[in-house]
Amino acid sequence: MMTGANAIELINTARYDLDDSQLSGACLEQFLAEGICVLPDFLRPEAVDALVRESDALAPLAHRSATSATVYLSGADHTLPADDLRHRALDSSVEVVGYHLFPIDSLLRALYESDELLEFIGRCLGVAELHRYADPFGALNLAIMRDGDRLGWHFDMTDFVVSIAIQSSEVGGEFENAARIRGVNDPNIRGISLVIDGTDPSLVRVEPMTPGTLMIFNGRWSLHRVDPIIGKRPRYVALLAYDTKPGTDSTDTLKLARYGRLPAAASADSPNSNTPNTPNTPNRSGA
């Protein structure tokens, strides 16, 4: 039984040597080409079992939210034609445990706070500097999805999201990705509509989010969703938030929506209550 908080002991270093430049180079190549890098079995099997137990213990602390938004994560504008993407709202529901609720000896927290993992992910992204979020809630999240939950089709508003799959649902919960479906100068409205309507399955692929998988994903240009969860077993995914700039935080509006509180209200139970607020305010979703 794993009870310590040594991050490296959780990682399958026999398969993934974090200091291997060929490994990080291959990850960077895949990320630049496809907007995604998937590392299956990144965590050891016994580490995954321990994280499931940790997630079971944390789950009762989660805040539940349900939203309805366009693929651009904005509210629907019903003054526009019904087939306009800015008119069409898609439902999402998820439960989230914020960083402030992870105990000091949390294994997930040990992974997130590991400098070795931080530096490895930075090399996979090809960035000179990578920083953990200053957000006392959003730096590390456990996303929990239960029977009937889903994440609707959407684009992220950040350049990358790092996630670790911990437990799959009995049925459903697939991470579906229309990779690089739009670009800076190509909004590809027709292609996005085809994906949302389900009329061109060839545009969508299912990414293998098996337990223990580490995924680095750019959802700004790739339309993606999590299809409905079916069954009693919850889907657990850890979301590790990094940025190329130091001091990144989220807005109070986003905190209230995602965690149901603000830092001042959580100061008594937050291990990060002294973390400063800063002007960098990303909006991201979870896989």
pLDDT tens, position by position, 189-213: 999 999 999 999 999 999 999 999 9
In a domain, 277, yes or no: no
Nearest to 9 by CA among 28, 18, 24: 18
In a domain, 176, yes or no: yes
Q: Give me the CATH number covering residue 143.
A: 2.60.120.620
Structure tokens at 178: 């229309």
| Domain membership flag for residue 273 | no
Q: Produce one character per residue of 144-173: b if its CB has 16 or more CB atoms within 10 Å, e if not.
A: bbbbebbbbbbbbebbbbbbbbbbbbeebb
Tokens representing 129 are 């500097």
Q: Does residue 222 lie within any of the structural domains?
A: yes
Distance (Å, rounded) from C-alpha 27 to C-alpha 25?
Answer: 5
Which amino acid does the sequence have at 91?
A: D
**Is 259 a member of any domain?**
yes
What global pTM score does this model have? 0.91
Quote the strand ranges of 180-222, DSSP E: 205-207, 214-217
Residues (pLDDT < 70) of the chain are 1-5, 265-287
Residue 51 lies in a domain: yes
Total of domains in the chain: 1
Q: Could you say which DSSP state residue 74 is in?
A: S
Contact 9, 18 (CB under 8 A): no
Domain extent for 204: 7-266
Q: Mind listing the pLDDT tens digit for each residue in 55-92?
A: 999 999 999 999 999 999 999 999 999 999 999 999 99
Q: Is residue 278 part of a domain?
A: no
| C-alpha separations of 120 from 6, 142, 153, 157, 185 in Å | 16, 21, 30, 23, 31
